[in-house]
Amino acid sequence: MARKRTKIAYKPVGWLAGAGAGAAAGLLFKQVWKLVGRDEDAPNATDENRGWGEILLAAALQGAIFASVKAAVERAGATGVRSATGEWPA
């Protein structure tokens, strides 16, 4: 029963952390793209002035950054819950 309460209590924390992680990942991607890309802004897939390579590189880089930040935040949240409650939330 305590495990179920821990899991339920973690849900809103996970949602808030996920939203923050998405915002942080977006900012991180913008900074990384400024270093990697030719432009301040990453290309849209429908931008006819950008080549396939640039568009696919931007998409792959963005996906990798978002997935890494999401995993780090989720893992840190679960570890924090275990430290606070003694139980893993998942």
Tell me the mean pLDDT in the region 12-21: 85
Total-model pTM: 0.81
Q: What separation in angstroms does the CA of 38 have from each of 30, 31, 32, 42, 88?
A: 12, 12, 11, 9, 44
pLDDT, one tens digit per residue, over 37-81 is 878 889 999 999 999 999 999 999 999 999 999 999 989 988 888
Domain limits of the chain? Answer: 24-85
pLDDT of res. 88: 84
